[in-house]
Structure 1
Amino acid sequence: MPTPPSQPTGVRRPRAMVIDHAWRGLGPGLESLSGPGGAPLTRTVKLIVLPLVVRPALRPELAVDFLGPAEAACLDGLIRRSGALLVATAQWFTLLKRTRRALGIVAGNPQDLYFQRCFELATEHGAPSGDVDATDRARAVVEDVADTADGRTVEALKGYLSDAARRARLDGELATAWESRLSGPAPSSDASAAVDLAAVALDACGTPGRSGEAPEYATLVEAGHGELFGRALWAHAGGVWRRGDLPAHLGLTAHQVPPRPQVGRGASTATLPAPLDRTLFERLFVVLQSSARREELPPVPELVGRETGRSCAPLGLHDESLRVAVVLGGRLAVGLDPLGTGEPVLGRTAAHRAVNSRWRREASVLRARRMTVSPHPDPDGGVLDALAQDLRTPWAAYMRRLWVRLHGRDVRDAPLEDLAAAWAVLDGVARSVMMDHRAKVRSALRALSKAPTRVAEPRSA
């Protein structure tokens, strides 16, 4: 793996770029932790580099997206000094995957299950020596992970929900819970009040040092504004966002109001419906598929029992602080404007200015913006034009990802204690959506660069 050219000094650089540069400079031996182009896998960064090598909690100066020269040099040094440890981690991962295949284990994503355990093995034992001890250690880890995840797999969920009598009982429980969901006060006016309070809270979020001072978040939670907002969706409240073209649910359902949840029999990541339209199976499928530490989850019977009530709760969530985060996220989402169109929306806050400013600096967004104003906006065969369209309606992807993240916290009983915690989630989702769009643009450009050049045929006289 060739060492990339040195980067310019004296300027702030994206942390992701610094990590990529340092990683590529480590040389060969990291193939099992890297993508086809030599960059670290997303899960490598998320599960190994950041939490175990960089450790931003101990080095808060490295927790930001853009690093000054000194911070970039520190991060670069941390990764390079960990080179031998990371190579050993990659070797353990290869051995654990081979052991997994030999044992016939297929459940779960090996990267999620083993990455951090491999780093622990490398730290304690160095690189696997290829002897009996290394083989025994690998087998012990694979079997231990399989045991702790037992009863918490998609296969176990499928088996549990295949019983006809159990399915009938669950369907009856869903019907009963759904019929009683509208008991309570009329919520439409309260939904608007929640949106107004959310705006004040978001202004504090986008102002450095103020996220811990705003009382609006506590007011929203204590007054149950998240629950009232969820009830407003059931009552088909309109005008919540002061825009006639935006439904109150912001794409959380494909219907005017969320439908009654069904039990379900299967799921596919490629065809998952909108969050509030998902079956019990689909909701738990996502949780089980995305959990790096499934041993922290309750067994499948308990998961299903809790999810039956949760799926019929306002916004499909039990915890009120997480429901309030949906309201805050919706208020942020309707003001997202990565293309800088300047279209009038419900008053933008300091949080909007911070997120939109970051988004507009993205090269992929600048490319998409040029396409939207071009008289010929489809020069690349439609691929990039479709990605530009995603930026015209950014609230859809944002709300879908936010709900999934909050649902995962609800399953684990992890509320958002204060506004600072809520903002960390809201801002993190915005960054995640932005990074996902960047990756899609890069993939599209690579595909287009490999496409054969079409030669125009001569016109007839």
Structure 2
Amino acid sequence: MVIDHAWRGLGPGLESLSGPGGAPLTRTVKLIVLPLIVRPALRPELAVDFLGPDQAARLDGLIRESGARLAATAQWYTLLKRARRTLGIVAGSPQDLYFQRCFELATTYGAPAADAEARARAVVEEVAETADGRTVEALKGYLADAARRTRLEGELAAAWESRSPAPAAEATAAVVRAAEVLEACGTPDRSGDSAEYASMVEAGHGGLFGRALWGQAGGVWGGEDLPASLGLTARQVPPRPEIGQGASTATLPAPLDRTLFERLFTVLQSSARREELPTVPELVGREAGRGCAPLGLHDESLRVALVLGGRLAVGLDPLGTGAPAAGRTAAHRAVNSRWRREASVLRARRMTVSPHPDPDGGALEALAQDLRAPWAAYMRRLWVRLHGRDVRDAPLEDLASAWAVLDGVARSVMMDHRARVRSALRALSAPPARAAEQRST
């Protein structure tokens, strides 16, 4: 709220960094405001959910002091996007690739001057060259070779046939251990206690859980109505990954149902620093093995983190309905208490007990339904986050780092839901002609 209020107070000139309602884009907050202006690592008193008057005033002041630099950042971003179009570059998200570079340009040079277009073109070319072929286009070209696809098909078939499913009891045991580990999360004095977490990794509980999914495990979460995969696959068991040749962010299937192309497409599209990725041939070769590994991940610490996330996800209870699995561990209490304070959640909770739950025509009821079963969105986002770490060979060494990811995904899902509620409310409150226009676009 403080960031939103301060941002709107900066006035015009920030349109390219803002949403339709004038608030900063989620990417603006994530890539510019928090890491480059607030800098919570240096100001831990601002890295909390609720700010006191002094902290709120400090945060407000930091953003307002950066007004001129943010306006220049917006101008540079417009120039970089224009240069990108001129050069015919389509790979990657412009916000991910250029937001922080634009803030750097604004800090170094101020508002764009006479040489700005040449400088913007140079930055765009530098970013494209840094990717060094690590693009969706390069991936598509690599997988277009018929002989290469035949070889990959053979490798996938052999790897899939060599799997060894585990009994459902192994999955149940992993879930029980996960609950014990989550009890050490969510409280400052215990978040660094990694003994149970390390024990799960050493015992291979993540891999055992993934192998149990191949054997059609059921009822492992304490409820027959919950699929063991928690939405990671729409099938009864995860299918053998296909190679694929195209992808769209709007139609991506469940994580374990994706083709090799779709899995690597998300990595290449979301990577701001693609120079840190392996080359496309390496990416494809490793993904072929990873796709046939338990839970679609190579690293055991990441598999364990996914099991921990599943145990956390089935206990997410934003509406406070008292679901059987909810609130059993310190981690659940920490996440659920934060979520239940959201204004959109409070409204959704009222809608669930109202005899006329959706007076607004369906939009908010659909969002309320998301809060009744939040585990699917959580697991989908968590898997993508862990898959990205696996591609970069970035394991989670201890419980503190694992909890940072688990809690971060919960915050991300909550913020995404908040943004969708705001968008729905804007559409509902718009004049009829404008609302129709928004629906058509």
TM-score range, shorter chain: over 0.9
Which of residues 396, 420, 424 is equivalent to 1:416? Answer: 396
Q: Distance in 1 between matches of 2:223 and 2:254?
A: 21
> SS at 2:183's partner residue?
helix
Letter in 2 for 1:65: D
Quick check: 2:327–2:336 contact (8 Å CA) kept in 1?
A: no
Q: Which residue of 1 aligns with 2:341?
A: 361
> Equivalent of 1:242, from 208, 211, 222?
222
Which aligned pairs between 1:106-145 and structure 2 lie closer than 5 A?
A: 106-129=90-113, 131=114, 133-145=115-127
Amino acid at match of 2:169: S
**Quick check: 1:90 aligned with 2:70?**
no
> For the residues of structure 2 that align with 1:104 and 1:285, how far apart are their CA atoms?
19
Shift of 1:350: 1.2
- Say which of 46, 50, 71 aligns to 2:30: 46
Deviation for aligned residue 1:108: 2.0
Mapped contact 2:207–2:295 kept (Cα < 8 A)? yes
Matches within 5 A, 1:22-421: 22-129=6-113, 131=114, 133-182=115-164, 186-345=166-325, 348-421=328-401
Compute the displacement of 1:214 (Å).
4.2
Q: Which amino acid aligns with 2:289?
A: G
Q: Which runs of 5+ in 1 are unaligned?
A: 1-16, 454-461
- Range with bigger deviation, 345-354 or 373-382: 345-354
Give per-residue Cα distances to partners, 1:35-67, cap 9 Å, x unaligned.
222211111111111111111111122222221
Q: CA, structure 1 residues 151+64, in 2 after alignment: closer, same or farther (shift >3 Å)?
A: same
What amino acid does structure 1 have at the position aligned with 2:75?
A: Q
Secondary structure of the structure 2 residue equivalent to 1:73: helix
Q: Distance in 2 between matches of 1:376 and 1:24?
A: 35
Equivalent residue number for residue 437 of structure 2: none
Give me the whole-angstrom Cα distance separating, in 2, the residues matched to 1:169 and 1:370: 56
Deviations 1:323-374 (A, max 9, x none): 0001100110111111111132377111111111111111111211122111
Instruction: Give distance in 1, aligned partners of 2:143 and 2:151.
Output: 11
2:309, 2:382 within 8 Å by CA — same for their partners in 1? yes
- What secondary structure, in the 3-state scheme, does the structure 1 residue paired with 2:189 have? coil
- Contact 1:197 1:220 (C-alpha < 8 Å) held by counterparts: yes
Letter in 2 for 1:172: G
User: Do the aligned partners of residues 396 and 451 (structure 1) sit closer, same or farther apart at CA in structure 2, a change above 3 Å counting?
Assistant: farther
8 A Cα contact 1:267 1:285, kept in partner: yes
Q: Give distance in 1, aligned partners of 2:130 and 2:20.
A: 32
Deviation at 1:448, TM superposition (A): 2.0
Q: Supply the distance in 2 between the matched residues of 1:326 and 1:246 (Cα, whole angstroms).
A: 16
> 1 CA distance for matches of 2:54 and 2:171?
47
Cα displacement string for residues 220-241 of structure 1 (whole angstroms, at most 9, x for unaligned residues): 0111111111101111122211
**Alpha-carbon distance in 2 for matches of 1:380, 1:225:** 46
CA 1:344–1:296 in 2, change beyond 3 Å: closer, same or farther? same
Matched, 1:428 2:412: no
Whole-angstrom distance in 2 between the partners of 1:426 and 1:263: 30
Could you say what the CA RMSD is over the residues aligned between the two structures, in angstroms? 1.6
* Post-superposition CA distance 1:1-41 (Å, at most 9, x none): xxxxxxxxxxxxxxxx1111111222222222122222111
Equivalent residues of 2:326, 2:332 under 8 A apart:
no
Determine helix, strand or coil for the equivalent of 1:318: coil
Partner letter of residue 94 of structure 2? P
In 1, Cα distance between equivalents of 2:358 and 2:160: 46
How far did 1:250 drift?
A: 0.9
- SS of the residue corresponding to residue 408 of structure 2 reads helix
The gaps in structure 2 that reach 5 residues or longer are 434-441
Deviation at 1:390, TM superposition (A): 1.2
Matched to 2:128, the amino acid is A
| Shift in Å, 1:383 | 1.8
Change (3 A) 1:135 1:171: same
Report the residue type matching 2:336 in the other structure: N
Letter of the 1:179 counterpart: E
Q: Is the 8 A contact 1:242 1:346 kept in 2?
A: no
Aligned partners of 2:194 and 2:400 also within 8 Å: no
Compare CA radii of gyration and give the structure with the larger one. 1
Contact 1:89/1:121 (8 A) holds in 2:
yes
Partners of 1:268 and 1:262 in 2: CA distance: 16
Contact 1:241 1:346 (8 Å CA) reproduced: no
2:82 and 2:429 mapped to 1: Cα distance?
Answer: 36
CA contact (8 A) 1:329 1:399 kept: yes
Report Cα offsets for 1:228-268 as digits up to 9, x if no partner: 11101111122211111111111111111100000011111
Note if contact 1:92-1:127 (Cα within 8 Å) is conserved in structure 2: yes
Once the two structures are TM-superposed, the CA of residue 174 in structure 1 deviates from its matched residue by 0.6
How far residue 376 of structure 1 moved from its aligned partner, in angstroms, is 2.0
In 1, the alpha carbon distance for the partners of 2:56 and 2:167 equals 50
Task: Please tell me whether the aligned partners of residues 211 and 420 of structure 1 are also in contact (alpha carbons under 8 angstroms).
Answer: yes
Matches of 2:110 and 2:307 in 1, distance apart?
Answer: 48
Q: Tell me, yes or no, if the aligned pair for 1:402 and 1:426 is still in contact at 8 Å.
A: yes
